[in-house]
Structure 1
C-alpha cells in the first residue's frame, strides 16, 4: 500500500463502518472498505488509497473474541504504515465489559502503535451527538437526552447505557481517562498543546476530547494529526475522528469536497431486511407503503433452519414477481433483556443466512439492511470482499456499491443503517431515489 495512506480504520459494526466510508469519501479521500482482512491481491486491486477500512462486528463480541479478531488487524495496520489507526465505535459508545468492550479494543490495538497519546473523540455533531465535560448527549427525534436517559440507548437490548460520563463508562472497561473539555479549545494552540502534553505525561490509558459543536472538530483534528505525524497513534470514536482530521486538513489546504450525489430510482424490486427493533426503524417500516411486508418470527428465525429456508423462498418469490419486499422481525418477537446478548447474535446470524439464501434465489440490484448487528452478519454471509461509497441517503446512512468476485453480487447497491439512523421515509427514499 503506497505511503499516501493516512487512515486505517476498523469499524466495530458494518453500519458504522459505512458511515466512516462515506465521511472519508465525501472529504475527498480515496477510500475503500474491505469486508474482512484484505490479502495482498485485494490490496493490489484497490489501488492507491488515502483511507482504508475494515468492516467488522467487534461490538457484538466477547473480549476473547475481540482479541482474536483485532490482533491481526493491528498487525496489518502497522504494516500498512498509516499515521492514524482508528477503532471506529458507535456514536453512542454503547459497549460493556463483557460484550463489545472498547476498553478491550484499545488494549489490543494500542501496542501496534508507539504513541502514548490515545485520543477518544467524544461526539459527532452531524448525528446530533455531543460530549460536554465528558458527558455524552444524543438526540431522539427533536429532543436531546443525556445518554443514560436516552429512550432507546438506556434500554438497548445488548449494551444499555447506564452512565453518561464517558470517563466512568470506560473505567468500567478498565480504562483510566484524562480529558480535555471544550472550553479549553479557546486557548492559543501553544497553550492547548502544553495542556495536552501535561495530561499525557500522567500516563492515562486514553484522553477523552469533548466535541460540543462542529467548530471543535478542526481543533481536535490538529491535535491528533500533529501527534500522528511524529508517531503513529490509535484513535477511538465514531466517524468524527475522520471528520476532525478532514476539517483540519481543509483548514491547512482547502480543497473541493465531494458534492451530495443524487440517487436514481431503483432498477427492479428492492429488498429491505430489518432486524432492528428500534423505535425509528419501526416508524420507517410503518411509512414504507411501497413494500409488501413480511413479519418474521424472531425466535423461530434464530433457531429453525427450515423456517429460515421457507421465509427465504417466500421473499424470493415476491421479488421474482417484481414486488418490493420488507422483511422485519415482529414486535411480538422482541428479545427478553436477560437473554439479549446470545439471542441477539443468533438472530443477527440468522438474518445473514436468510439474506444469502434470498439473493441466490432472486438476484436484485438494490438492498437495504437495518440494524447494526444484523448488517454486520448479513454482509458477512455474502460472497463479497469490499464496499465503495456511492451517495448519502441521510446523515449516517450511505448507499454503497458491493465488490464481489461473484458477478451476480458485484455492483449490488446496498444501504446499511443502524437502528436510530435516517428519517421516517428512508425506506421509501431507498426505492424512489433522491434528487
Structure 2
C-alpha cells in the first residue's frame, strides 16, 4: 500500500483487542468507514476491506516486554507511514496503566515517533464518555457505569492492578517514570479560554474534562495534521476529538444471533465478577487457573464438559480468573495464551458462532488464535463494549460474532444482553 490522495487519514494501533474494537466502534458511530486488522494486512486483505477512512491494527503490546514491543510496533509504524496516514493513534487503555517492564507506553512512543513527520507527540488524558477525566495532568476514573470517580492512584481496581498497579495519577510523571522525555501540559483552563500556547517539549499532554474540550483539541489535531503526520497517544477519545459528535453512522453489517454463546472470562475486576454473577442465561464453570495452565488432562476434561453443553444449545461461561491473583503470580500471559489455544481447539470440535472474551489479555490471545485476519464493526452493546464480526479465510470462522470486553467496561447484565442478541 502506498500513499495517495485516497489514503486513510487516520490509523490506530490498539495495545489490546478490547481497546482496538472500542476505537472501531467510535469511528463507525461518527460516520468514518473503518476496519480493524489483526496484524499488518496483506494486499489481498486490504483490498477485501475496501476503501477506508481509517485503518486499525489490533495487537497485544500492553502485555509485552519493551523488546517484544519493538518487534511488534516497527512493522506497524512502517505500514502506517507507507499508507500515508496523517494521524497515527497509539490506542492505550483509558487508564494509561503500564509499567517499565510490560506494556510500556513510553517505549511505544519512542518506536512510533520515527514513522511520523512531527517531533512532538500529543497525549490526550481523558475520555468523559467512559468516565475518564484529566485535570491539571491528573487522571480520574469511574468504575464501570457507577457514579463514583476516583483519582487513579486511589482507584479501587487500577491502584491494585496485578501487573501494572497505578501508584501515580499525574500522567506526566507516570510517562516520565516509564522513560519518556519531558511532557508539557495544556490544561483545561487554557482550553476553555482558547489559549492553546504549546511549548516545545517532546511530548504534550492535553487535559480532558468535557466533550467541548475534545472538540477544541480536535481542531488543533486536524490543524497539525495539515502540517504533516503526527503521533497521538490516548484512549478512543482521540477518535472522538478528530471525528466529532455521533452523526450519520456508517451502515454496519449485522452479527449472527443464532446458536449458543461461549464466554471466557479472564478479568480480575470487581465489575466483571458482578457481571458473571448476573449472567442468568449461562451455565457457569470456574476453572482452577493454576491447573488450567499446567495440566493437559484438566483442560481435556473441561473441554469435554463445555462441548457437551454447547452441543445441547446451552450458553457456557468459563471463568479462568483466579480468586487469588497471587496463586498464579507472574503467569498472566501464560494463562491468556493457554485460553487462546483452548478456545481454538474447542471451536474446532463445536463450531460456535458467538463468542465473548472478558479481559484485555484474554481477548487479545483468544482472537489471535481463531485464524481471523480482521474485525468488522457489528454494533455497540454498552459504552466501551463493541460487537465485532470476525473475518477469516476459513469458512467455519468467517462471520463469527465476537464481544471483546475490558475488565472495567459494560453494564451489569452485559452477558445476558449479548446472549439475547440485543445491540
Query: Residues of 2 paired with 1:180 and 1:310: CA distance?
Result: 56
What SS does structure 1 have at the residue aligned with 2:416? helix
1:335 aligns with 2:332: no
| 1:10-25 to 2 correspondences below 5 Å | 10-25=13-28
Q: Does 1:85 align with 2:76?
A: no
1:383 pairs with one of 371, 386, 408: 371
Partners of 1:264 and 1:384 lie apart in 2 by 15
Three-state SS of the structure 2 residue aligned to 1:215 is helix
C-alpha contact (below 8 Å) 2:13/2:91 kept by paired residues: yes
Correspondence for 1:352 among 337, 340, 364: 340
CA–CA distance in structure 2, aligned partners of residues 205 and 173 of structure 1: 15
Quote how far apart the aligned CAs of 1:268 are. Answer: 1.4
- What is the aligned partner in structure 1 of residue 170 from structure 2? 165
Can you list the C-alpha shifts for 1:311-345, whole angstroms capped at 9, x where unaligned? 2222111101111100002543x3219x64x3000
Q: Retained in 1: the 8 A contact 2:26–2:240?
A: yes
- The aligned counterpart of 1:424 is 412
Mapping 1:68-79, distance limit 5 Å: 68-79=71-82
Q: Does residue 155 of structure 2 align to residue 150 of structure 1?
A: yes
Deviation at 1:430, TM superposition (A): 0.5
Contact residue 256 and residue 353 of structure 2 kept, 8 A: no
In structure 1, what is the equivalent of residue 403 of structure 2? 415
1:264-288 CA distance string (max 9 Å, x none)? 8931111111011110110010000
Residues 376 and 330 of structure 1: CA distance in aligned 2, closer, same or farther (over 3 Å): closer
| Distance across 1 between alignment mates of 2:306 and 2:91 | 34
Distance 1:60 1:331, change over 3 A: closer
Aligned equivalent of 2:34: 31
Counterpart contact for 2:287–2:318, Cα < 8 Å = yes
Aligned to 2:129: 126
1:177 offset after TM fit, Å?
Answer: 0.3
Query: What are the Cα deviations for residues 127-153 of structure 1, in whole angstroms up to 9, with x where unaligned?
Result: 000001000000022211000100000
Q: Indicate whether 1:7 and 2:10 are aligned.
A: yes
| Unpaired runs of at least 5, structure 2 | none
Would the alpha carbon gap of residues 56 and 160 (structure 1) be closer, same or farther in structure 2, given more than 3 Å must change?
A: same
**Partner of residue 279 from structure 1, selected from 249, 270, 280:** 270
Looking at structure 2, the residues matched to 46 and 206 of structure 1 have their Cα atoms a distance apart, in angstroms, of: 34
Shift of 1:353: 1.0
Summarize the Cα distance change of 1:208–1:389 in structure 2 as closer, same or farther, 3 Å threshold: same
- Using the size of structure 2 for normalisation, the TM-score is 0.95
Q: Is the 8 A contact 1:260 1:391 kept in 2?
A: no
**For each residue in 1:388-428, what CA deviation from the matched residue of structure 2 results, as whole angstroms up to 9, or x when unmatched?**
10110000000110000111111111000000100110001
Measured after TM superposition, the shift of residue 116 of structure 1 is: 2.0
1:102 Cα offset (Å)? 0.2
Please provide the CA RMSD for this pair.
1.8
Check whether the contact 1:261–1:392 (CA below 8 A) recurs between aligned residues.
Answer: no
Instruction: Measure how far apart 1:223 and its partner are.
Output: 1.1
Q: Give the conservation status (yes or no) of the 8 Å contact 1:389–1:401.
A: yes
- Report the CA distance between 1:214 and its aligned residue: 1.2
For 2:277 and 2:86, the matched residues in 1 are separated by: 45
Q: 1:433 to 1:259 in 2, by over 3 A?
A: farther
Aligned-pair distance for 1:117? 2.5
SS at match of 2:331: helix
2:212 corresponds in structure 1 to 215
CA distance in 2, matches of 1:264, 1:57: 24
1:228 CA drift (Å): 1.3
Verify: 1:177 aligned to 2:219, yes or no. no
What is residue 311 of structure 2 aligned with on the other side?
320
Equivalent of residue 302 in structure 2, options 287, 291, 311: 311
User: Which structure has more helix as a fraction of its residues?
Assistant: 1
* Cα distance, 1:259 vs structure 2: 8.2
Q: Within 2, Cα distance between the matches of 1:55 and 1:217? A: 24
State how far apart, in whole Å, the 1-side matches of 2:162 and 2:248 are.
Answer: 38
Post-superposition offset of 1:310? 2.7
Confirm or deny that 1:244 pairs with 2:248: no
Partners of 1:335 and 1:343 within 8 A in 2: no
**Alpha-carbon contact 2:358-2:407 (below 8 Å) kept:** yes
CA displacement 1:241-278 (0-9 Å, x = unmatched) = 1110011xx6xxxx942289898893111111101111
For residues 34 and 159 of structure 1, the distance between their equivalents in structure 2, rounded to whole angstroms, comes to: 26
Q: Cα gap change, 1:205/1:307 in structure 2, threshold over 3 Å: closer, same or farther?
A: farther
**Structure 1 residues not aligned, in runs of 5+:** none
Alignment CA distance shift 1:53-1:259 (3 Å): closer
Structure 1 residue 232, shift from structure 2 partner: 0.3
Q: TM-score, normalised by structure 1?
A: 0.92
1:122 touches 1:209 (CA, 8 Å); kept in 2? yes
